[in-house]
Amino acid sequence: MTYLVRKQLWSLLLLLLTARLGWAQAPAWQQAVDLGQTGSTDFSEIRASATDAAGNVFIAGSFAGDLHLGGITLSGTGTNLFVAKWNPAAGFVWAQATNSTIASARVDVRGLAVQGGNVFVTGFKFSYPTTFGSITVTGQGISCGFVAKLADAGPTGSFTWVHALSGADVLPLAVAVQSSGVYVTGNFNGTLTVGAATLVNQRPSGSEMFVAKLNDAGSTVAEAWGQRGGGAVQSLAVSGANVYVAGTFSSAPTDFGTTTLTNSSSGFASDVFVAKLSDAGSTGSYAWAQAIGGGGYEYVRALAARGTEVYLAGSFGSPTTTFGGLTLTNAQGGTGTTPAPVDAYVAKLRDAGSSASFVWALRAGGSDAEEVRALTLNGTSVLVAGYQLSSTAAYGSSVLTSGGTGGLFVASITDAGSSAQFAWAQGAAANANFPAECIAVHSPRVYVSGNFRGTATFGSQVLTTAAPYQTGYLAVLNDPTLLPAAAPATPVALAAFPNPAHDMLTVQLPAPAAARTSLTLLDALGRPVRHYAVTSGSTRLPLDLTGLAPGLYALRLTAAGRPLISRLVVE
């Protein structure tokens, strides 16, 4: 066989495997809606989103003036929060909002979580009395932090309880739910009392972070425990009894329990921290903390956890930034504490109990600034969304153009266990900078939301607002490679290493193998080429690859009738 023929066959195999396993082809925008506003003082923003098992989308944000959600109109005095339920077939189903009697009143929402028929939101309000449905919350200082629960009854939704955090200056930023535990994190000044614990800010100036657990008893709620930590928190994720937080800290050493992190710069540049707390029920304590830095400015905007895998994303402006033993290089170089235009990053670390280590890290970007603002997981797919200011920016082999006015991006990353790569990227543009703030998934739909002014274009979908201020949007695209909603909620990736492989390969199973587990190696055409025996109870399998032709393959693990697929390169 000549070299040219071999090269042509190899190219064909690449194309066939790409089509079969869903690589490269970016899904198109299917639908886009805005939060209809027409008044000269109307304003709205979406800050958080989530989906439920039935495919409904819940969004939360703030608005002033009138907010038109399909046939639903919300109005109020001052700036209020709203929570709305949207269905891809029926549109907006219901919406709830706060209200006040003071024109200067403001309520901001920062986080949202959904569990079963319950919706949880967190945020902060100024000291004026505010009504959440039939519940009134009075002020408790400069900024009153709160957590609220709504019950979704299908066609209607209503506030069940609202819990105010007892501190004079508290800014909750994220919420997560695990069983009856409701976890909230944010920043505070002065003191904050949570249950029996009084948290005291250790910084002479500026705020510090807190993590608090509440116990939801249905119609009531009680505080369980609270912990403080150094730095400014941004994101929160929960997996089992493990609570993960991520944020930034500046030059001073920063403590998380008995762990102290030191900033990589002697100036005031920011490094990123990610820390784990163990929830023992009535108490919570730090288990470990890790730092990401490079002498300049690093930021974290999103965090997700599944099993022992923890994913975080944001941006970095240092010339180089280290993630444990891994290093990413900024496309524009940077000059230390004088930040370059930031590049986007996505990284994964593995929790080993009392410690953690980074497994892989990816960058994306162009000649200007890019940042990941939101992240979610689906099987081996890590989906991210954010903003792109570069006229062109690369996400792996995918290149997006923004037309020079800025835009948003959505990208999918395939997590192969010990490595990862971008699978596709899609963009949208506007006549003014507009980032994607939130991302949520219900297979095959990917929901992206954020805010825009003027005109926003999502493929053939064009949104226009007459209001001079920004308004929120919700846009949808379909990714057929996503796992169906009926798949397990924690389908940890089938890890195979080394990848690329030569004669031997080790496969790490996501759980001890059941009796009806099979492992098959497929070629680029999807044809079975080898079958491997799987012993019941095993978690790690050595595979002999001797005799296989170099090329692209896929490992397919089938357990209880459900497949997991991991891509593989044999050299």
- Tens of pLDDT, residue by residue over 321-364, are 999 999 999 988 765 545 568 999 999 999 999 999 999 999 99
Residue 554, domain CATH: 2.60.40.1220
User: Is 254 among the domain residues?
Assistant: no
Domain coverage including residue 427: 25-34+368-492
Q: Kindly tell me the burial class for residue 520, based on how many C-beta atoms sit within 10 Å of its own C-beta (0-12, 13-18, 19 or more).
A: middle
Longest CA pairwise span in the chain (Å): 82
**Beta-sheet pairing, 461-464 with 436-442:** unpaired
Torsion of Cα atoms, 501 then 506 then 507 then 509, to 10°:
-160
Q: Which tokens belong to 386? A: 């954010």
pLDDT given at position 393: 95
Same domain, 442 and 424: yes
Name the 3-class secondary structure at 384: strand
User: Is 218 among the domain residues?
Assistant: no
Q: Integer distance in angstroms from the first to the last C-alpha of the chain?
A: 19
Which pairs count as long-range contacts for 347-350, CB under 8 Å and 24+ apart, including other chains?
A: 347/292, 347/311, 347/312, 347/313, 347/323, 348/309, 348/310, 348/311, 348/382, 348/415, 348/420, 349/274, 349/290, 349/309, 349/310, 349/312, 349/323, 349/324, 350/308, 350/309, 350/310
Last residue of a domain, one of 446, 464, 492: 492
- Nearest alpha-carbon partner for 64 in 49, 45, 50: 45
Same domain, 448 and 375: yes
Same domain, 502 and 459: no
Same domain, 456 and 556: no
pLDDT by 10-residue block (mean), the chain, 571 residues = 41 39 72 81 92 97 92 92 94 96 90 98 89 87 88 97 90 96 96 92 87 97 96 96 96 89 80 97 96 92 97 96 96 62 96 97 95 96 96 95 82 95 94 85 96 91 84 94 61 70 84 70 76 79 88 75 72 84
pLDDT given at position 119: 99
Last residue of a domain, one of 492, 522, 551: 492
pLDDT given at position 22: 39
For residues 356 and 290, the answer to whether their CB atoms sit within 8 Å is yes
C-alpha angle with apex 282: 279 to 283, nearest 5 degrees?
Answer: 55
CA distance linking residue 284 with residue 249, whole number of Å: 22
Report the domain count for the chain: 2
Last residue of a domain, one of 492, 524, 545: 492
For residues 256 and 273, the answer to whether their CB atoms sit within 8 Å is yes
pLDDT given at position 14: 38
For residues 119 and 159, the answer to whether their CB atoms sit within 8 Å is no
For residues 558 and 532, the answer to whether their CB atoms sit within 8 Å is no
Backbone angles phi, psi at 121, to 5 degrees: -130, 155
Q: How many CB atoms lie within 10 A of CB 418?
A: 16
Same domain, 502 and 488: no
